[in-house]
């Protein structure tokens, strides 16, 4: 295609020269004039070829540099995206490790608090009327009951639903929704599910601080829990 273009340009450029010479007349054309005419034509052809080659090389270099810059920019964008994905994965893994550590720590704290409370209740007391070597028999340990299952938590849009919050001894606050018609026993079952045994811990209202008397035959509505309520989980006083 480039050769055809060069030939076409050559013919177009040589046409005016031929017309000019033809106007002078054929009898005046000699061998010398024909040689000069051919030389001019070949010189013009060489000049046009040089211009076309330089222009083509310049255009090719410009296109190649543009393509190189585009590839370099795409490579930088790809590297940037990989770095962002890597940072996101590291952040997610660190967050998962922190959540697992917090969960393990909270579980260990529950077990430790229950163990300490049981130990305080089961410590033998020395009698003032007997020798130091004679101690009272240890108190009976509470019977470990099976943790009951809780009813399914209702949705936020359900009717006759109340939200109950439990404030634990270590400051943690747990919330759960119940139907007002549920038995008040579900409060004790919930407390046992989160690790606080009913033989060691009790429930009381937040203000005023009054122990909550839970009866199996009463519903939450019968006990006066008709709006969102906060209850306190307290450790029972050891019996003498």
For residue range 77-117, what is the model confidence (pLDDT) as tens digits? Answer: 888 888 898 888 888 777 777 777 777 776 777 677 777 77
Phi, psi angles (nearest 5°) of residue 126? -80, 135
51 vs 21 pLDDT, higher one = 51
Per-residue pLDDT at 164: 92
- CA nearest to 216, candidates 193, 182, 184: 184
Q: Is the pLDDT of residue 240 over 60?
A: no
Q: Pairing relation of β-strands 229-235 and 201-205?
A: antiparallel
- CA nearest to 122, candidates 10, 54, 199: 199
Report if pTM > 0.85: no
Residue holding tokens 């273009």?
5
- CA nearest to 185, candidates 166, 158, 212, 208: 212
Give bridge partners of residue 219 from the DSSP assignment. 183
Residue holding tokens 């076309």?
52
Q: How far apart are the first and last CA of the chain?
A: 111
* Cα Rg, the chain, nearest whole Å: 49
Residue 178 neighbours by CB distance under 10 Å: 23
User: How far is the C-alpha of 49 from the C-alpha of 38, rounded, in Å?
Assistant: 16
* DSSP per residue, 22-46: HHH-STT--HHHHHHHHHHHHHHHH
User: How far is the C-alpha of 75 from the C-alpha of 78, rounded, in Å?
Assistant: 5
User: How far is the C-alpha of 113 from the C-alpha of 61, rounded, in Å?
Assistant: 77
Per-residue pLDDT at 67: 82
pLDDT over 70 for what percent of the chain?
A: 71
Give the pLDDT band of residue 176 (cuts 50, 70, 90). very high
At 198, list the tokens.
Answer: 């009913």
228 vs 238 pLDDT, higher one = 228
At 167, list the tokens.
Answer: 């404030």
Arithmetic mean of pLDDT, 30-49: 82
* Cβ 125 vs Cβ 138: under 8 Å: no
pLDDT digits over 142-153, tens only? 455 566 788 889
At 45, list the tokens.
Answer: 């052809």
Q: Is the pLDDT of residue 196 over 80?
A: yes
């Amino acid at each position: 295609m480039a050769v055809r273009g060069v030939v076409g340009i050559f013919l177009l450029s040589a046409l005016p020269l031929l017309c000019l010479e033809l106007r002078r007349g054929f009898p005046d054309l000699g061998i010398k004039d024909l040689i000069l005419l051919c030389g001019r034509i070949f010189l013009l052809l060489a000049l046009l070829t040089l211009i076309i080659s330089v222009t083509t090389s310049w255009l090719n270099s410009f296109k190649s540099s543009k393509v190189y810059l585009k590839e370099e920019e795409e490579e930088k964008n790809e590297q940037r995206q990989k770095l962002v994905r890597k940072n996101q994965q590291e952040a997610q893994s660190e967050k998962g490790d922190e959540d697992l550590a917090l969960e393990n720590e909270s579980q260990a704290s529950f077990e430790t608090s229950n163990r300490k409370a049981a130990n305080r209740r089961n410590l033998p007391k020395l009698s003032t009327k007997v020798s130091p070597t004679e101690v009272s028999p240890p108190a009976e340990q509470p019977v470990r009951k099976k943790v009951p299952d809780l009813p399914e938590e209702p949705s936020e849009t359900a009717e006759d639903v109340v939200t109950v919050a439990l404030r634990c001894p270590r400051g943690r606050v747990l919330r759960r929704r119940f139907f007002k018609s549920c038995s008040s026993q579900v409060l004790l079952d919930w407390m046992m599910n989160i690790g606080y045994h009913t033989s060691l811990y009790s429930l009381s209202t937040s203000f005023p601080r009054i122990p909550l008397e839970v009866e199996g035959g009463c519903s939450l509505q019968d006990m006066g829990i008709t709006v969102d309520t906060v209850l306190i989980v307290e450790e029972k006083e050891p019996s003498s």
